[in-house]
Structure 1
Amino acid sequence: MFKSILVPIDLADTDLAKPAIATAATLSQTWSGVVRLLNVLPMTPVMLAEYVPADFDEQQRQTSEEALAIVARESGIDPARISSVVRQGGIYHEILEEAVHMKADLIVMTSHRPAMRTYFLGSNAGHVVRYAKCSVLVVRH
């Protein structure tokens, strides 16, 4: 049923992602599926561009790729069934784009407990749930 699972990860808080990774691992094993870990890097604001090194974005990407490789190794998922990718842009937009690109059957992501501010502004998880073309499983921490 779920052959292709996308797991967005915030590398600033990998502990928050552990329940989603564990859930994706179980589902991928049950359905003989594959898991893709995704990290989204924000765009460097134009007004800061002159204050950062010319290769700042590339350094950020490389650091993120290395961190995702560590998370993948520690996930317990068979290395042949897990991959990772780093994208740059708006968080929920890039999650939705990657899900379409990889033809995901399921997005598994964690979300903080709702706070009053998220009821008015929305959250990345909320946007993904509303606009994803595949099933979305939100795992509470």
Structure 2
Amino acid sequence: MFKKILLPIDPAEPAFADAAIEKAVTFAKDYGAKIHLVAVCPEVQTFVASQLPEGFQEKEVAETRSTLDEIIAKMGLAGGVVDSQVRIGSVYHEVLEEAQAADCDLILMTSHKPGLSTYFIGSNAAHIVRHAPCSVMVLR
């Protein structure tokens, strides 16, 4: 079925991805798929960075890596089945680039409750669905 699954994780709400993690683990066990986690930290603009403590962005990235490592440990899969990447930028842009760079054939993600402008799925999920280089499964 799928060989490599990209699983975006929101570093601010890692538990929000629990349903997607569970589905990805099932795919890994049933079909021998590999899982590639990606978390995107928002880029801190220069004018904002001057007001933050020195090394703020680096600390945020390190904490996000730690969060991904904890998620991987809880998945209970054999070594080499799951890897991860932390990127900096806008969520949908970085997820799309990572899907292509990691040669993923499925993006498996959850979607936040949408507002009126994105009635069926959240805005990041909508961008990813429209522009993905591979199949996308959105869990609500």
Give your verdict on TM over 0.5.
yes
Question: Is contact 2:11–2:67 with CA below 8 Å preserved after alignment?
Answer: yes
- Segments of 5+ residues of structure 2 without an aligned counterpart are none
The CA deviation string for residues 11-31 of structure 1, in whole angstroms up to 9 with x for no partner, is: 221221000011111112222
Indicate the residue corresponding to 1:87 in structure 2. Answer: 87
Correspondence 1:67 to 2:67: yes
Structure 1 unmatched runs, 5+: none
TM-score (norm 2): 0.92
Q: Report the secondary structure of 1:114's partner residue.
A: coil
Q: CA shift at 1:58, angstroms?
A: 1.1
Q: Is the 8 A contact 2:11 2:41 kept in 1?
A: no
Give matches, 1:20-39, under 5 Å. 20-39=20-39
| CA distance, structure 2, for counterparts of residue 105 and residue 78 of structure 1 | 21
Q: Which residue number in structure 1 is paired with residue 11 of structure 2? A: 11
Cα RMSD after superposing both structures:
1.6
Q: Give the C-alpha shift of residue 96 in structure 1.
A: 0.2
Whichever structure has more helix as a proportion of its residues is 1
- Aligned partners of 2:70 and 2:80: how far apart in 1? 15
How many pairs were matched up? 139
Tell me the residue number matched to 2:46: 46
After TM superposition, which residue ranges in structure 1, 4 or more long, deviate above 6 angstroms? none
SS of 1:11's equivalent in the other structure is: coil
Q: Which moved more, 1:92-101 or 1:78-87?
A: 78-87
